[in-house]
Structure 1
Amino acid sequence: MSFEIQDLADILRVLILIELDKKAVSKSSLKRKIDNICSGRFNIEARDFDETLKNMVEEGLLSISGNYIKLTGRGTEISKEWRRFLLKNEPILEVIAGIADGVVTSLVIIASSIIAGLTAKMMLIASILSLIVVSITNFSSFLLGGITEDLADLTTLQNLIIYSLSDIPDKKEKEKAICLAKELLNLLRKKRSKMGFLSALTCGGATFLSTIIPIAAYLILPQPFDILFSFLIIGIMASLFLVHYRSRKMRIHWKITLLQTIAIIIGAVSASLLLGTNI
C-alpha cells in the first residue's frame, strides 16, 4: 500500500481504513457510511467501491466473508497508524506535559514548604491554589493550541492532497476525488475537535493527579515518612511516564530519556525555587 494519495481509490482506501475497526461490517453498511460522508453531493460508484475492496484484500488489509468485511491483523495495524497520523487519537504530548507539570509543581510546593517551614494549613492553601491554576492553564492552553494546530495541519494536508489529485487526467474522476478528499478532511476536523477536547482534558487531569497525590501523601503522613513517600511517588510517576513511556514512544534507550528527564526537572525546580526566594 502506497502512502501517497494520488487518485480516488487511494482516498477510498484511507477512508475505509479509518472507518473500519476490529468488528466485521456488511459491505452495504460500509458503503452507506461512506456515501453519508459525501454529504449527498455524489455517491461512490459500486464498481469503484468493489475494486478498492478487492485491491485491499489482495494487499492483505481486509478479509471478506460473504457480505461481511473485516480488517486483517496487518490491516488493523495500518488502520491504527493512519488514525494516529490523521486523527491524533493518542494524546502522547498531553500526557507527558501533564505529568511533567505535575511533577515539577509538586516538587516545588513540597521543597518550598520545607525551606520556608510552612504550617500544614498554609501548605494546603498554597497547594490548592497552585493546583487549580496549573491544571486549568494546561487544559485551556492545550485546548486552544490544539484547535489552532489542527486547523493549520488540516489546511496544509488539504492543499497537498488536492495538488496531488490535480494530475488525474479524467476530469470527472478528478472532481469526484477532490470532493471526496474535502469530505474526508471535514470528517477529520469533526473527529479532531472531539479528540482535541479529550486531549486537553487528559492534560489537565494528568497535571491534577500527578500534583495532588504526592502533596496529599506529604500532608497526611507523619514525619519523616511524609517526605520519603511523597518523593517516592514523584519518582515512580517520573520513571513510568517521563522515562519509560517516552522511551517506548520515541524508540530510544531509556537511559537517554532518564538523563533528559533528570536535567529538565532539576533545571525547572531550581529555577522556580530561585525565583521564589528572590521575590
Structure 2
Amino acid sequence: MNIQTLGIIGAGQMGNGIAQVCATAGIKVVMCDINAAAVQRGIDTVSANLDRLIKKDKLLAADKQPIIDRIHGTTDLGALAQSDFIVEAATENLELKKNILKDIDALAKPGAIIATNTSSISITRLAATVSRPQQFVGMHFFNPVPVMALVEVIRGIQTSDETYAATEALARRVGKTPIAVKNSPGFVVNRVLVPMINEAAFVLQEGLAKAEEIDSGMQLGANHPIGPLALADLIGLDTCLAVMEVLYREFNDPKYRPAPLLREMVDAGYLGRKAKRGFYTY
C-alpha cells in the first residue's frame, strides 16, 4: 500500500509525536484536534522537539522546516477525507474512541486503513464500530513517540492480512520496530508494565518507602532506566488508571485492582508531567 498522506485525530503528546515521526519520514500529515489552540500546541511541540534534535546534531537545521511544512494542522475533521491511513490518538476512553471512529469511518475514502493508538482497549470491539472492520488495526506507539522504538501492531479478529502487512510496513518506514500482537486487554507491554506501576503505587501508599526510594530501588536493583513512579508521571496517571481499569474489568481478576492512591491522585488532577504534579512536582 502506498501511503502518501496520513491523518491523525488528536494533537496531544501521542498525536504530535506520531505526526513528527511520519513527517520526518517524508509522509504528508493532517493532524486534527477539536480546537485551534490544541492544534497549535501540537505543532509547537514538534518544532521544539526538532530544535532539540538539531542541538544534538541528530537533525540538520535545513531539514526542520520541510518537516514542519508536511504537517497540516486543522480543526476540520473533513480534512482527513483523502488520507490513505488514519490514526485515532484520542484519550483512552472507550465511548469517546467509538464516537470518533464512527465519524472517521463516515468520511474516510474506501481504501483507507483506520488505526487506533489505544494502549489497552479491545481492537475487536473498536473494529465493530466501523463499516470496514477488515481495514481496522491497532497501532500502539509508545511515549515519547520520537524516542521510543517500539510499535505494537494488534490484530482484531476482523483485521485482514493486507491491513496488518501495510501497518507493519508503515511502522518500519517511520523508523520503528513493530511486534505482532494478538488482541487481549493491555496487549503485551502494558499487560506487564502498568501492573508494575500500580504495585509501586501500592508500595508508596502503604508507606514502605518514599517515591524516590522506590524508583531508585528499581533503577539500581532491576536496571530500569527510569523508576515506575517517574514513568507513571511521564505516561500520565490518568492513562495508567485507564489501563488498570480495563485489565481489572476484562480479566475480572483482583490482581489488577487499581491502587486507591492512583485513583485518588487522578481525582485530584495530579496527572503527572502534563499537569506539573504527579508522584513528583514539575
Decide: shared fold, TM above 0.5: no
- TM-score, normalized by length of structure 1? 0.27
Which has the larger helix fraction? 1
Which has the larger strand fraction? 2
The structure with higher relative contact order (CA 8 Å, sep 6+) is 1
Larger Rg: 1
